Amino acid sequence: MASPVALITGSARGIGREVARTLAARGWTVVASARTLEAARAVAEEEGGEGKSFVPLELDVERQGSVQDAAHHVQALGMKLDVLINNAAHFETGWTQPLFDKTMNVNFYGPVHTMRAFSPLLVDGGRIVNVASWFGQLHQISQPYRDAVTSCNSIEELISNIKFNAMDGDMRATAHSCYKLSKACLIRATGFAAQDPDLVQRNIKVFAVCPGWVRTQMGGPSATRSVPEGAASVLALVDPKEEHVSGGFYRDGKPMSID
Ligand SMILES: NC(=O)c1ccc[n+]([C@@H]2O[C@H](COP(=O)([O-])OP(=O)(O)OC[C@H]3O[C@@H](n4cnc5c(N)ncnc54)[C@H](OP(=O)(O)O)[C@@H]3O)[C@@H](O)[C@H]2O)c1
């Protein structure tokens, strides 16, 4: 039987790298993507021991053209994906228009673009795993943004209605507020994607996961979890169980509140 195939964004380091390593060790074919082909090739070279199968792929989630090119490349290789893992993210503190644009591009619009570009390449019964965060729970953002996110009824509405408001004092005073908002949008978009008629008809499930606070470049050395522990939380939804409901938000395979 052919090995299952996973595509991971941001696989050159951190949790994405660990998920790539683990799946390859389990016999999966891993489409290891990174912002540059050199970085993706380095993953394949450094992790690709005997019997392990890596396909390096250039994919900068911030650039829609890069996402499209990457999807065309995978299609041209004749590959089908069992799982798409939207792992890449940008994490920086501040509340400015440029940081809002950058963070929403990488953490929210990027995963939306990859879901759309790669879903035709997913097998029936495939999965999409969006790596979110407890920072994306609604209590992490200001009341006006909570209202804005919860009143949106589609991914398109999230994209067009969630705008930067320089005057939002709570967001100005909150650390990592752009990141928190982007992950709140990603969690809500996961719920909408799970209802997409094409995905439902093809039995493709869509999950949001939180890896916990992990000792990566993003999480820093004081984080409570090792990289394998964080990756395990993502991997729990790569092979979901009966109780994992499409559109849900999970940590360590257990439901998390979106509030
Ligand atoms: N660490 C934590 O405590 C924690 C907690 C909650 C959620 N998370 C989530 O877990 C996921 C992985 O985080 P991590 O801790 O492993 O972070 P990390 O070590 O900082 O790695 C982030 C990855 O994202 C990639 N990336 C950034 N911008 C990109 C872009 N435009 N296109 C493609 N790739 C891009 C980076 O690539 P380069 O190498 O090219 O920079 C890197 O591979 C993220 O979604 C994060 O939000 C992490």
Dist. CA 26 → ligand 1 center (Å): 23
Check residue 49 and give its pLDDT: 76
The answer to whether the beta carbons of residues 138 and 188 sit under 8 Å apart is no
**pLDDT tier for residue 48 given thresholds of 50, 70 and 90:** confident
| 36 residue type, one letter | T
pLDDT tens, residue by residue, 211-231: 999 999 999 999 999 999 999
In this structure, the residue with its CA closest to atom 32 of ligand 1 is: 60
**pLDDT tier for residue 64 given thresholds of 50, 70 and 90:** very high
pLDDT tens, residue by residue, 126-156: 999 999 999 999 999 999 999 999 999 999 9
Dist. CA 201 → ligand 1 center (Å): 31
**Cβ neighbours of residue 159 closer than 8 Å, sequence gap 6 or more:** 109, 112
pLDDT tens, residue by residue, 186-205: 999 999 999 999 999 999 99
Report DSSP state, residue 154.
Answer: S
Q: What is the CA radius of gyration of the chain?
A: 17
pLDDT at 50 over 80: no
Which of the listed residues 38, 105, 214 should we mutate to test ligand 1's pocket, taking the one with most ligand atoms within 8 A of CB?
A: 214
Dist. CA 90 → ligand 1 center (Å): 6
Fold of 5-255: Rossmann fold (3.40.50)
CA distances from 109 to 55, 58, 205 (A): 24, 18, 19
**pLDDT tier for residue 57 given thresholds of 50, 70 and 90:** very high
Beta bridge partners of residue 122, listed in sequence order = 81
Q: Which atom of ligand 1 is nearest to the CA of 234?
A: 10
Whether residue 8 has its Cβ less than 6 Å from ligand 1: no
